[in-house]
Structure 1
Amino acid sequence: MRFRLPIAILALTALTACGGSASRLNPFKWFKRSAPAPVVSVETPADPRPLVNTVLSMQIESYPGGAIVRATGLPPTQGYWSAELVPRPVDEKGTLVLEFHVFPPVGAAAVVNQQSREITVAYNLSDIKLQQINEIVVQGGSNARSSRR
């Protein structure tokens, strides 16, 4: 009983140390909010599906054991399907490019409103993979969004 209080105080002290700006242990400091990024030119596509026209948003959500990259794209019409974030190899600067690929509609498709055309996809990254990554870029056809550590 008398050991619980000192152990609790030590645990709280260690936990508050993760809040420092230099700490890499705090998962809330792993990646910043996404920002517009230049489009990366790719000689050979990683997937035969075309890229989504516009990447509207990108978030990186941490969880114990890794992180989930979630992106929302906007194709020109409704009916696009089988969307996926396809990874390119991590470059020497630690940048991971995820290409946002999606199949176009089979037939003619309507253009109603933006909300009905938005497509959201996610990609899982383990802590081991994240160790070599400093920046994550989600690539669309006309734009890209990125987030840095």
Structure 2
Amino acid sequence: MTRLTLSLLIGTTILAGCGRLGDSGWNPLRWSGGRSAPADLAPEGGYLQATDPRPGVPQILAADWQPLAEGRLLVVRGFAPTKGYHSAELVTQRPQPGDRLSPDPDGVLRLRFVAAPPAPDSPAARLAADPVTDPIIVALPLSFTQLASIAAIEISAATGTILLRR
């Protein structure tokens, strides 16, 4: 019984040093020689600011929402004057780590609608595209968790911008 009481008394004394008496020598955070500053998890040179080299799609035709079981699907249709555009994608205007999609402080998620044009000497670059049969379509799934912090989505292309409210 004496051992249990002594162990509890020592444990209580150590825990008390971590509480209100944060400046005491019993506080384990002070054992390293001073107050610890909050850790910054950003890399030393900051995050890589890679920009997408693909140009914006020349024209946005439409943008709308499709329902999903876990959220919504953002579908954007664009048009280019010639056939052969490929690798279309919606990318964030502000570089973000990984595949994260977080809005700006004003609650607007800003995206760019980009696609790689055909090579200038390719046969597809010489063929005119038809907006009915040759649209450039891209989709981006957004979960309800991601949509909770987004008030609107702004999609920009080479010649215009569309704003979608939730």
Secondary structure at 2:55 match in 1: coil
Runs of 4+ in 1 over 2 A off after TM superposition: 112-117
Structure 2 Cα separation of the partners of residues 79 and 116 of structure 1:
13
**Higher RCO (CA-CA < 8 Å; seq separation 6+):** 1
Structure 2 Cα separation of the partners of residues 48 and 114 of structure 1:
25
Q: Could you tell me which residue of structure 2 aligns to residue 101 of structure 1?
A: 114
Percent of residue pairs identical:
33
Flag the 1:45–1:54 CA change in 2: closer, same or farther, 3 A: farther
CA RMSD of aligned residues (A): 1.8
The correspondence of residues 98-137 of structure 1 with structure 2, limited to 5 A, is 98-106=111-119, 107=122, 108-137=125-154
Flag the 1:61–1:131 CA change in 2: closer, same or farther, 3 A: same
Which entry has the higher C-alpha Rg, 1 or 2? 2
Could you list the runs of 5+ residues in structure 2 that have no partner in the other structure? 1-48, 95-102
Counterpart AA for 2:117: P
Q: Render the CA deviation track for 1:60-113: whole Å, top value 9, x for unaligned.
A: 122221111000001121111111111235111110112111000022331142
1:148 aligns with 2:165: yes
Could you list the runs of 5+ residues in structure 1 that have no partner in the other structure? 1-43
Structure 1 or 2: more strand by fraction? 1
Question: Is contact 2:58–2:80 with CA below 8 Å preserved after alignment?
Answer: yes
Q: How many residues align?
A: 106
Question: Is contact 2:80–2:129 with CA below 8 Å preserved after alignment?
Answer: no
Q: Could you tell me which residue of structure 2 aligns to residue 47 of structure 1?
A: 52
